[in-house]
Chains A and B, each alone.
Chain A
Amino acid sequence: MTPDEMAALLERITAHNPRLHPLFSLEFGDAVVGVERAELFATAADLRDAGFDRLGMVTAVDRDEVFVLVYRLHSRSLSAAIFLKTLVPRDDAWVASLVELWPAALWQEREVFDLFGIHFEGHPDLRRILLPDDFVGHPLRKDYDDPRLIRRPDYI
């Protein structure tokens, strides 16, 4: 997809959906759209009905006061892919689960829960997936600390 085609796609997606905000028109050659947390599920359902039939990835970024949740959506019919992003406050870290829309979210959301401690409301089986079940804490949070950690000295 050329940048022009991508811009046209982004225009078409956001024009009919007042909930979507184009965050950056083009990032790495891909469209990025943002949405309020409360409207994530409805928006994602709209996008799926608009042709984005595949959820490629769910991840999160720790930006200190907020987490940025990142969804990668693919469309076979449009031959397109976009990023869908939403902000989650750190002290109130929950978001609606998208398992009902894309079953692929089942394990992806468990991984984000495991490593970031973000709760997915409506997830049928929200358990740790990568770390041991008795693990304490969420290690990809920037404020994570563990007495077992050996800090790397400066000279290495």
Chain B
Amino acid sequence: MALVDRISGALDSGPGGVILTSVDALINWARGQSLWAFPMGTACCAMELIAASFSKFDFDRMGTFPRPDPRHTDVMILAGTITEKMRPAVRRLYEQMPDPKWVVAMGNCTVSGGIFYYDTYSVVRGADEFLPVDVYVAGCPPRPESLQDAIIQLRRLVAEESIAPGRRHEQTTTLPRPKAGGDR
């Protein structure tokens, strides 16, 4: 039985405490430092995605490493226009990824449809029509540095997660995000 599973059982007997926070921090640290990426390169943004992995930008130093198999990966990087014909394939690959998993929408096409937003009969207007996107990266295409910044932002999201159901560790972030229950 995995460590995470045993802690989950212990949590049911009472409210969380110092140990809970520490375990969350440990697990989220481990997860956030090795976000292996599934390079879902469907169009030209894939070139920048590839460049981010090579020596000049060196994605490895951030623990992000492209793997061709969705079963080995934590984060799906959607790089490029998603057509209606490609949508079921992307969805299926996403479902093959093990939990926990995250999605980065790289480039204007996956954010909103981009230049294909108007007058298109074949393009999905934004990957969030069918996938839960965590981080959006604008650009046509975004620079590799932008994609690496997206992974850094994604680490903040990862750090918010808890193995206890319903609990989140709010992080300070520069991302504009809606606050639950208004201003506090």
> Interface majority SS on B: helix, strand, loop or mixed?
loop
Q: How far is the CB of B130 from chain A (nearest CB, A)?
A: 14
Residues of B within 8 A of A150 (CB): 117-120, 125
Cross-chain contact B119 with A144 (CB below 8 angstroms): no
Task: Count residues of B near A (Cβ-Cβ below 8 Å).
Answer: 9
Cross-chain contact B118 with A151 (CB below 8 angstroms): yes
* Distance of A36 Cα from B85 Cα, bound (Å): 36
Cross-chain contact A139 with B122 (CB below 8 angstroms): yes
> Is A148 an interface residue when CB atoms closer than 8 A count as contact?
yes
> Is A12 an interface residue when CB atoms closer than 8 A count as contact?
no
* Distance of A152 Cα from B116 Cα, bound (Å): 10
Interface residues as binary, B120-148 with A (CB distance below 8 Å gives 1, 0 otherwise): 11100100000000000000000000000
Residues B73-132 near A (CB distance < 8 A): 84-85, 117-122, 125
Name A148's closest neighbour in chain B (CB-CB).
B121
Cross-chain contact B119 with A149 (CB below 8 angstroms): yes
Cross-chain contact A146 with B118 (CB below 8 angstroms): no
> Is A156 an interface residue when CB atoms closer than 8 A count as contact?
yes
Cross-chain contact B119 with A131 (CB below 8 angstroms): no
Cross-chain contact A130 with B121 (CB below 8 angstroms): no
Name B119's closest neighbour in chain A (CB-CB).
A152
> Is A132 an interface residue when CB atoms closer than 8 A count as contact?
yes
Cross-chain contact A152 with B118 (CB below 8 angstroms): yes
Residues of B within 8 A of A152 (CB): 118-119
Residues of B within 8 A of A144 (CB): 121
Cross-chain contact B121 with A139 (CB below 8 angstroms): yes
Residues of B within 8 A of A130 (CB): 85, 122
Residues A102-156 near B (CB distance < 8 A): 130-132, 135, 137, 139, 144, 146, 148-152, 156
Name A145's closest neighbour in chain B (CB-CB).
B121
Other contacts beyond A132-B84, A149-B121: 19, CB < 8 A: A130-B85, A130-B122, A131-B85, A131-B122, A132-B85, A135-B84, A137-B121, A139-B121, A146-B121, A148-B121, A149-B119, A149-B120, A150-B118, A150-B120, A150-B125, A151-B119, A152-B118, A152-B119, A156-B118
Instruction: Supply 26 A–B pairs (Cβ within 8 Å), ascending by A.
Output: A130-B85, A130-B122, A131-B84, A131-B85, A131-B122, A132-B85, A135-B84, A137-B121, A139-B121, A139-B122, A144-B121, A146-B121, A148-B121, A149-B119, A149-B120, A149-B121, A150-B117, A150-B118, A150-B119, A150-B120, A150-B125, A151-B118, A151-B119, A152-B118, A152-B119, A156-B118
